[in-house]
Amino acid sequence: MNWSWKVVYDVLPQMLEGLVITVQATIIGALVAYALGLILAIMRMSNSRIISLSTYWISEFIRRTPLLVQLYFLFYVLPDLGIFLEPLEAGIIGLGLHFSTYTSEVFRAGIENVPTGQWEAAKSLNYRPYQTMRYVILPQAIPPMIPPLANYLITMFKETPLLSAITVVELFNAANIYSNSHYKYLEPMTLVGLFFLIVSVPSAYIAMWLERKYQRRYARNH
Amino acid sequence: MSRIIEFQNVSKAYGDLQVLKHLDMHVEAGEKLALIGPSGSGKTTILRILMTLETINSGHVMVEGDYLWHQKVNDELVPASEKHLRKMRENIGMVFQQFNLFPHLTAIANIEQPQILIKGVDKSDATNKARELLALVGLEEKENHYPHQLSGGQQQRVAIARALAMDPKIMLFDEVTSALDPELVEEVLNVLRLLAETSDTTMLTVTHEMNFARDFADRVLFFEKGQIVESGPPNEIFKNPKEERTRNFLRQIIGEIP
């Protein structure tokens, strides 16, 4: 097993292109996961049992089935129903949809962790429901949500190689294509691992820093 | 004097637990009322019903001559809409046991925000009023402090100022010193004593501080098991209670009673 810098030099440009796709899929996928997650959280907390329960079961279904199967469904099954998605589109929707069922729990916990007394104080001052949300609840609920949301971003980043299954040429797939055609696995796969480390280790530290920053911010009030 | 609050045959239960049983009571405008009695006797529930934080199961609650939990539509009495409740809430303010200040806002912003959002007051007028009220509760120096930088007693005084800023006709004080360290109780009670003397707002306070109830109240109501056992001026209730149950309660809580 000999390390060849020539292989590294050869594969690097394609891998950098793959990295751009990986970062795109992660960031846009995360935005989808956050937006959809907030909607799911609000629907889950609805007073209507039908809305709340059906949201619960849909979320359970998505969360308890593998992302890989969902990606196949979006990319290979939907065309049978006349819906054609580009590989990257299907990948972003799949990632976003799958992780929205996790982020929705973060939003729900964040909102439910605001003490009842805050809702009651707002009501006693005659705040309207949206004013209560906007001026009282969310300003308290959002800071503690930031660290777990950042952690899901890192998890999504690490899950992006699954998109290779639906022909997205992201970081891993770029390396894989090279490997398969040149029968060189050592350097490309080492580089894949390295790239993931370079991005996720600092991100993890940032997430931990956020956690410390927002932890017990209003401790004495709770 | 006119009746500002009236409970007519009001019952309230949480599941199997009956908290109020066919309660009749009334409060005159400007009256200062102290509600005393053992825990679970329904005192706090009365305040929470008035603040619309709890519904009632039967009976009627009148505030300023209008139904609180009902409204008339085509001469028929129906459950109150959110719009009706909002209108009724304008008359009422509440101070809670746990203060419930907004932790992300400074003391002064806690008092300004509701005025601006709900009453549509200009920012500068809201600030002026907030400063006046902070001075009234002795905290003009603390306007830029966040709640977690204030002691419990100070937080509770800010909460009182916040409720007053909305100019309610009725103020509800729900065990406002129960969550405080003993040495901080008096500073809050003194603010309430001052309010009782100087303001013609109707005030209802649920309290376990009997000395305070004596100073504060025009009338004391003794509750047990969701019903009024005895009602009268503090001198009568504390010095010469008629009912054996009142006597027992006072004996337990203050120790000496004739």
Q: What is the pLDDT of residues B41-54, one digit of tens each?
A: 889 999 999 999 99
What confidence score (pLDDT) does residue B251 get? 86
CA distances for B178 relative to B4, B134, B207, B208, B254, angstroms: 27, 22, 8, 8, 16
- Report d(CA A193, CA A197) in Å as an integer: 6
Read off the tokens for B48: 């929470």
What confidence score (pLDDT) does residue A217 get? 56
**Does any domain span residue B112?**
yes
**Does any domain span residue B106?**
yes
Amino acid at B231: S
B113 and A135 Cβ atoms separated by less than 8 Å: yes
**Does any domain span residue B145?**
yes
Q: How do strand B227-232 and strand B219-224 relate by DSSP bridges?
A: antiparallel
- Residue B161 is part of which domain span? 95-165
What confidence score (pLDDT) does residue A85 get? 94
Q: pLDDT tens digit string along B91-135?
A: 999 999 999 999 999 999 999 999 999 999 999 999 999 999 999
- Asked if the C-beta of A134 comes within 8 angstroms of chain B's C-beta atoms, the answer is no
Q: Is B255 left (phi over 0), alpha (psi -120 to 50) or beta?
A: left
Q: pLDDT tens digit string along B17-70?
A: 899 999 999 999 999 999 999 988 889 999 999 999 999 999 999 999 999 999
The terminus-to-terminus CA distance of chain A in angstroms comes to 59
Domains of chain A, residue spans: 5-221
Q: For residue A123, what are the contacts with CB-CB under 8 A and spacing of at least 6? A: A132, B51, B52, B53, B89
Beta bridge partners of B78: B71
Q: Does B258 have pLDDT greater than 70?
A: no
- Asked if the C-beta of A139 comes within 8 angstroms of chain B's C-beta atoms, the answer is yes
Interface TM-score (ipTM) > 0.90? yes
Residue A205 Cα to chain centre, angstroms: 18
Chain B CB contacts of A221 under 8 Å are 101, 103, 147-148
Q: How many domains does chain B have?
A: 1
B32 and B24 Cβ atoms separated by less than 8 Å: no
What confidence score (pLDDT) does residue B256 get? 59
To the nearest whole Å, the CA of B45 is away from the closest chain A CA by 14
Q: For residue A8, what are the contacts with CB-CB under 8 A and spacing of at least 6? A: A187, A191
A218 and B148 Cβ atoms separated by less than 8 Å: yes
- Asked if the C-beta of A121 comes within 8 angstroms of chain B's C-beta atoms, the answer is yes
Enumerate residue ranges in chain A where pLDDT < 50. 219-222
Chain B CB contacts of A219 under 8 Å are 148
Q: pLDDT tens digit string along B150-186?
A: 999 999 999 999 999 999 999 999 999 999 999 999 9
Q: Does B257 have pLDDT greater than 60?
A: no
What confidence score (pLDDT) does residue A134 get? 92
Nearest alpha carbon to residue B180 among B154, B158, B159, B160: B154
- Report d(CA A112, CA A109) in Å as an integer: 5
**Does any domain span residue B102?**
yes
**Does any domain span residue B212?**
no
Amino acid at A56: Y
Cβ contact (<8 Å) for B118 and A125? Answer: yes
Cβ contact (<8 Å) for B117 and A139? Answer: no
Handedness of CA B185, B191, B192, B197 (dihedral sign): positive
Residue of B nearest to A142 (CA): B104
Q: Domain A5-221 adopts which CATH fold?
A: MetI-like fold (1.10.3720)
Mutate to test the interface with A, among B87, B117, B167 (most CBs of A within 10 A): B117
3-state secondary structure of B167: coil
Residue of B nearest to A121 (CA): B100
3-state secondary structure of B134: helix
- In chain A, which ranges are E strands? none
- Report d(CA B50, CA B5) in Å as an integer: 9
What confidence score (pLDDT) does residue A213 get? 81
**Does any domain span residue B125?**
yes
B77 and B67 Cβ atoms separated by less than 8 Å: yes
B30 by Cβ neighbours in 10 Å (0-12 / 13-18 / 19+) ranks as middle
What confidence score (pLDDT) does residue B133 get? 97
**Does any domain span residue B25?**
no
Q: For residue B244, what are the contacts with CB-CB under 8 A and spacing of at least 6? A: none
Read off the tokens for A216: 């017990």
Chain A CB contacts of B93 under 8 Å are 124-125
Q: What is the radius of gyration, based on Cα positions, of chain A?
A: 21
Beta bridge partners of B34: B205, B220
Q: Report the residue from A123, A124, A220 with minimal CB separation from B148.
A: A220
Stretch (H or E) spanning A21 = helix A5-44
- Asked if the C-beta of A123 comes within 8 angstroms of chain B's C-beta atoms, the answer is yes
Residue A147 φ then ψ, to 5°: -60, -50
**Does any domain span residue B26?**
no
What confidence score (pLDDT) does residue B117 get? 97
Q: Report the residue from A123, A127, A131 with minimal CB separation from B53.
A: A123
3-state secondary structure of B93: strand
To the nearest whole Å, the CA of A32 is away from the closest chain B CA by 28
